[in-house]
Amino acid sequence: MSTQQSRSAAKLMLAPAVFLLMAWMLVPLSMTLYFSFKKYLPLRGGDLGWVGFDNYTRFVSSSSFWPAIGTTFLIVGGVLVITVMLGILFALLLDQPFWGQGIVRIMFIAPFFVMPTVSGLVWKNMFMDPVNGFFAHLSKAFGSDPIQWLSQESILSLTIILSWQWLPFATLILLTAIQSLDSDQIEAAEMDGARLLGRFWFIIIPHLARAITIVILIQTIFLLAIFAEIFVTTAGAFGTKTLTYLIFQRVLESQNVGLGSAGGVYAIILANIIAIFLMRIVGKNLSD
Partner 1 sequence: MARAISKKNKIINSLIAWTIGLIIFFPILWIIILSFKTEGDAIRSPIAVIFSNWTFENYFVVQDRSDYFKHFYNSVFIAFGSTFLGILIAVPASWSMAFVPSKRTRGILLWMLSTKMLPAVGVLYPIYILFIALGILDSRVGLVVVLMLMNLPIIVWMLYTYFREIPEEILEASRIDGAGLREEILFVLTPMALPGIASTVLLNIILAWNEAFWTLNLTAAKAAPLTAFIASYSSPEGLFYAKLSAASVMAIAPILIMGWFSQKQLVRGLTFGAVK
Interactions with partner 1, residue window 96-115 (CB under 8 A):
96-101, 103-115
Of 87, 164, 236, 240, the one binding partner 1 (CB under 8 A) is 164
**Of 186-215, which residues contact partner 1 (CB under 8 A)?**
186-187, 210-211, 214
Of the pair 194, 278, the CB lying nearest partner 1 is at 278
**Of 214-243, which residues contact partner 1 (CB under 8 A)?**
214, 218, 221, 224-225, 227-228, 231-233, 235
> Is 176 a residue that touches partner 1 (CB under 8 A)?
yes
Of the pair 17, 197, the CB lying nearest partner 1 is at 17
Q: What angle do CA 164, 166, 172 make, to 5 degrees?
A: 115
Of 48, 81, 85, 118, the one binding partner 1 (CB under 8 A) is 118
Of the pair 154, 233, the CB lying nearest partner 1 is at 233
Separation of alpha carbons 250 and 268, rounded Å = 16
Of the pair 155, 170, the CB lying nearest partner 1 is at 170
Q: Which of 15, 46, 14, 21 is nearest to 257 (CA)?
A: 46
- For the bound state, the minimum distance from the C-beta of residue 76 to partner 1, rounded and expressed in Å, comes to 13
Enumerate residues 6+ apart whose C-beta is below 8 A from 108.
90, 94, 167, 168, 171, 172
- CA quadruple 223, 225, 230, 232: dihedral positive or negative? negative
In 144-256, which ranges are continuous DSSP H helix?
Answer: 149-152, 154-179, 183-191, 196-199, 205-224, 228-233, 243-248
Which span (46-54, 55-63, 73-81, 161-169) binds partner 1, by CB under 8 A? 161-169
Of the pair 37, 169, the CB lying nearest partner 1 is at 169
Separation of alpha carbons 111 and 90, rounded Å = 15
Which span (46-54, 55-63, 77-85, 94-102) binds partner 1, by CB under 8 A? 94-102
Which helix H or strand E contains 17, and what residues bound it?
Answer: helix 4-36
In 37-153, which ranges are continuous DSSP H helix?
Answer: 54-61, 65-95, 101-109, 116-122, 134-141, 149-152
Over the window 6 to 35, marking each residue x when it contacts partner 1 by CB under 8 A and - when it does not, the resulting string is xx-xxx-xx-xxx-xx--xx-xxx-xx--x
> Is 125 a residue that touches partner 1 (CB under 8 A)?
yes
